[in-house]
């Protein structure tokens, strides 16, 4: 029988991979690069939430504050992006500086046992995934996948021709906000369950690799999911056999796979 730790890790990987298609939509939207910024916002929210839990209310759950930070960052970046690249770059830099500063400063005032809670958002071990985190990952990832399927046509219109979409009566700004909001919540949950480093790897690299494989959008969505699952399973096997951290192993396999796809495409087109 499969070890329960490995079983939860595999299930967590499968659920997290369901979130990858929304990253493909963000890639088509030209906004995949904000995923790391949103994940760093999770660190700031987690640090502030744990601070409140430590010194104000022991029953306070830091996670809602994490979601608020991620949503605020995503929505502000989306709004500022409409004002031009300079405004967008400024907001990205400011949001990153604020989140990292909150994380670094607040963490220094926390007791050692509480620092572990905050640091869990930065680096976590997939093999130690709790049932609660697994459940939240399943719910949010499935919701992201369902939203991608239901609003697929609207999302594509928004990504490629927002003005025409508005002219056709589509509430383009509302769907654009939905894209960024779904992505933000997905990143927040993935950061808590998997850690920032692994969540960013799983959400970005498969989406980017799928763009190298095909230009067909439906095939990109499928390819991104397959790449995420394949690299994740290979990483888990590698970590068990070599006794190395699971997150690092998955990240390593993902990078090697992306590099191989990139080199193959470069040689094919040369």
The pTM of the whole model exceeds 0.85:
yes
Residue with more model confidence, 147 or 88: 147
Q: What 3 state SS string does the chain have?
A: CCCHHHHHHHHHHHHHHCCHHHHHHHHHCCCHHHHHHHHHHHHHHHHHHHHHHHHCCCCCCCHHHHHHHHHHHHHHHHHHHCCCHHHHHHHHHHHHHHHHHHHHHHHHHCCHHHHHHHHCCCCCCHHHCCHHHHHHHHHHHHHHHHHHHHCHHHHHHHHHCHHHHHHCCCCHHHHHHHHHHHHHHHHHHHHHHHCHHHHHHHHHHHHHHHHHHCCCHHHHHHHHHHHHHHHHHHHHHHHHHHCCCHHHHHHHHHHHHHHHHHHHHHHHHC
The CATH superfamily of 4-195 is: ABC transporter involved in vitamin B12 uptake, BtuC (1.10.3470.10)
Burial class of 234 by CB neighbour count within 10 A (0 to 12, 13 to 18, 19+): middle
Split at pLDDT 50, 70, 90, the class of 81 is low
Split at pLDDT 50, 70, 90, the class of 1 is very low
Q: CA of 57: how far to CAs of 53, 74, 95, 161, in Å?
A: 5, 28, 27, 48
Split at pLDDT 50, 70, 90, the class of 206 is very high
Q: Are 43 and 187 in contact (CB under 8 A)?
A: no
Q: Are 254 and 235 in contact (CB under 8 A)?
A: yes
* Residues 92-129 pLDDT 10s: 778 878 888 988 899 888 888 888 888 888 777 788 88
Read off the pLDDT of each residue in 133-154 and give the average, rounded to a whole number.
92
| CA separation for the pair 122, 63 (Å, rounded) | 14
- CA triple 91-118-225, angle to 5 deg: 70
Tokens read off for 246: 């699971």
| CA separation for the pair 211, 44 (Å, rounded) | 31
| CA separation for the pair 210, 202 (Å, rounded) | 12
* Residues 223-249 pLDDT 10s: 999 999 999 999 999 998 988 888 889
Residue with more model confidence, 30 or 147: 147
Q: Where are the domains of the chain?
A: 4-195
């Amino acid at each position: 029988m499969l070890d329960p730790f490995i079983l939860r890790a595999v299930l967590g990987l499968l659920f997290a991979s369901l979130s990858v298609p929304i990253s493909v939509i963000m890639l088509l939207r030209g906004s995949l690069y904000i995923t790391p910024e949103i994940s760093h916002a999770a660190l700031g929210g987690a640090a502030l939430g744990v601070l409140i839990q430590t010194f104000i209310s022991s029953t306070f759950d830091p996670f809602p504050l994490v979601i608020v930070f991620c949503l605020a960052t995503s929505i502000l970046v989306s709004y500022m992006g409409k004002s031009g690249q300079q405004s967008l770059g400024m907001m990205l830099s400011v949001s990153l500086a604020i989140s990292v500063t909150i994380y670094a400063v607040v963490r220094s005032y926390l007791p050692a046992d509480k620092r572990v809670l905050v640091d869990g958002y930065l680096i976590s071990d997939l093999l130690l995934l709790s049932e609660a985190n697994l459940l939240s990952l399943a719910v949010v990832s499935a919701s992201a996948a369902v939203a991608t399927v239901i609003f697929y046509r609207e999302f594509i219109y928004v990504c490629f021709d927002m003005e025409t979409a508005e002219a056709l009566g589509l509430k383009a700004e509302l769907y654009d906000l939905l894209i960024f909001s779904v992505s933000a919540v997905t990143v927040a949950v993935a950061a808590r369950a998997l850690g920032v480093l692994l969540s960013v790897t799983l959400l970005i690299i498969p989406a980017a690799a799928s763009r190298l494989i095909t230009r067909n959008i439906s095939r990109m969505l499928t390819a991104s999911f397959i790449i995420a699952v394949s690299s994740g399973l290979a990483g888990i096997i590698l970590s068990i056999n070599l006794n190395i951290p699971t997150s690092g192993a998955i990240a390593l396999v993902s990078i090697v796979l992306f590099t191989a796809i990139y080199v193959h495409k470069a040689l094919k087109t040369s």
